[in-house]
Structure 1
Amino acid sequence: MAKLGAAVSIVTTDGPAGKAGFTASAICSVTDTPPTLLVCLNRAASVYDTVSRNGVVAVNTLASHHQSLADLFGGKTPVDERFAAANWSRGQSGAPVLEDAVVSFDCRVAHLTDVGSHSVLFCQVVGIAHGSLASGLIYFDRMYHTIGDMLVAEMRKNAQTGPR
């Protein structure tokens, strides 16, 4: 699976079971009607009970400058320290939304099913927060990689010099 590259996101939740968040790359779009994402979560993860009991998540897609935040949410750092490392707002669902994410999808968990060691959460999107244009962070071959830098640099150059 290390050769299957994917965008890096921080999935967050808050509600009656408390606040939690984790770094994930096993996320994809399922359908646009209704807008739904698939999020895979290991049932042995420390955040599993909190996420499943709250029933809401925000999928915060990370930019290249978020690598240290991805490491923080992917480790054993206490919850309060994880969230203190960035600026957050609240989505319609109540889940924490990363203020400078490339994009954040605020969701309600519509369905959950178990496959092997993981639960697959089908998350219906109730809100979207678009960030500013940024390069993305992907995980491939057990390492972080940046995508979009050349495109971003070209767009900034064109914005400064004006149309040709």
Structure 2
Amino acid sequence: MPSPDGLPDAFRTVMRHVAATVTVITATGDGGRQHGMTATAVSSLSMDPPALLVCVNQRTLLHDLLLRGTRFCVNVLAHDQSHVSAAFSGAVAPEDRFAVGDWGTDEHGLRFLADGIASLVCRNTATIPYGSHTIFVGEVTGIRRHDAVRPLLYQNTRYCRCEPIEAVPA
């Protein structure tokens, strides 16, 4: 067991080994400013109503836009879209990120990834600050999806692909 001082580093190491689906969360700010950020801290919350949890660091621009906005979009990336993730992770300046990938705009001015696995438009219904992050609860109000089922994964600081395995006999 790590000492209390070593707990944050041990936790970080363990969490790096947990594979996560890569998403890009998009939001529109005051004056129509578009912004997006790569995130892996996204989880389903409820089926009735359909809702997601999105955890965002409080020091990010996206955090500020989500606090002030009523809608956001969670875009699930396909296995061949690591370039989109990298752009929205900081490899590309915020004002140029939407030039990477095939982005559309919905009737509310919200950007969505047209060729990703899915785009879930959410209405921000609750915020819960915790530690360095805020948990945003998004009630899903619209879904665009494709038949692709091979998501882009992130594990131990690397992009990965999800591959089916043979069923294990009982």
TM-score normalised to the size of structure 1?
0.84
C-alpha deviation, 1:76, in angstroms: 5.5
Q: Which residue of 1 aligns with 2:20?
A: 6
Alpha-carbon distance in 1 for matches of 2:161, 2:38: 16
Tell me whether 1:109 sits opposite 2:134 in the alignment: no
Alpha-carbon distance in 2 for matches of 1:150, 1:128: 28
Identity over aligned pairs, percent: 29
Q: CA RMSD in A?
A: 1.9
C-alpha deviation, 1:68, in angstroms: 1.0
Q: How many residues align?
A: 151
The partner residue of 1:39 within 48, 54, 57 is: 54
C-alpha deviation, 1:141, in angstroms: 1.5
Structure 2 matches for 1:57-96, cutoff 5 A? Answer: 57-75=72-90, 77-91=92-106, 93-96=108-111
Q: Would the aligned equivalents of 2:79 and 2:161 in 1 still touch at CA under 8 Å?
A: yes
Q: Which residue of 1 aligns with 2:3?
A: none
Tell me whether 1:29 sits opposite 2:29 in the alignment: no
Alpha-carbon distance in 1 for matches of 2:165, 2:118: 19
Q: Which residue of 1 aligns with 2:147?
A: 132
Tell me whether 1:49 sits opposite 2:64 in the alignment: yes
Q: Give the counterpart letter for 2:34 in structure 1.
A: K
Q: Would the aligned equivalents of 1:92 and 1:126 in 2 still touch at CA under 8 Å?
A: no
- 3-state DSSP class of the match of 1:94? coil
Q: Which residue of 1 aligns with 2:112?
A: 97
Q: Would the aligned equivalents of 1:110 and 1:122 in 2 still touch at CA under 8 Å?
A: yes
Alpha-carbon distance in 1 for matches of 2:84, 2:94: 12
Q: Deviations over 1:85-126 (max 9, x none)?
A: 122223355321100010110011100010100000000100
CA spacing shift, 1:107–1:92, aligned 2, 3 Å: farther
Q: Give the counterpart letter for 2:160 in structure 1.
A: H
Q: Which runs of 5+ in 1 are unaligned?
A: 152-164
